Copies of this chain bind each other. A is one copy, B any other.
Amino acid sequence: MAEDDRNLSLDNQVSTEAANAVDPVVQDQLAPWRSPLSHALHRNRALAYARYGQLATVRADGRPANRTVVFRGFLDQPEGFGWNGLKFICDRRSSKVNELDNNPWAEFCWYFPKTREQFRLAGTVILEVGLDDNLLATVRAQTWEAISTKAQASFYWPEPGEMRAEADAFRIPIVDASLPSENFVLLVLQPERVDHLELRGDPQHRWQYKKLSSNHQWTRQTVNP
Contact = CB atoms under 8 A, between A and B. Distances in A.
Interface string A45-68: 001010010111110001111111
B224 A154 contact: no
A4 to B, nearest CB: 11
A208 B56 CA distance: 19
A56 B66 CA distance: 6
A49 B15 CA distance: 38
Nearest to A99: B64
Interface string A211-225: 000000000011111
Interface residues of A, number: 52
B67 A109 contact: yes
B66 A162 contact: no
A164 interface: yes
Given A3-B166, A7-B163, A162-B223, A107 B66 contact: yes
A166 B107 CA distance: 30
Nearest to A160: B224
**How many copies of this chain?**
2
B62 A58 contact: yes
Contact of A157 (B8, B108, B165, B225): B225
Interface centre among A58, A154, A158, by most chain B C-beta atoms within 10 angstroms, is: A58
Contact of A54 (B6, B58, B66, B162): B66
A122 interface: yes
A150 interface: yes
B108 A49 contact: no
A84 interface: no
Contact of A107 (B3, B63, B163, B208): B63
A111 interface: yes
A80 interface: no
Contacts of A64: 56-58, 64-65, 105-107, 122
Closest 5 pairs between A and B when the two form their complex, measured CB to CB: A56-B56, A56-B66, A54-B54, A56-B64, A63-B105
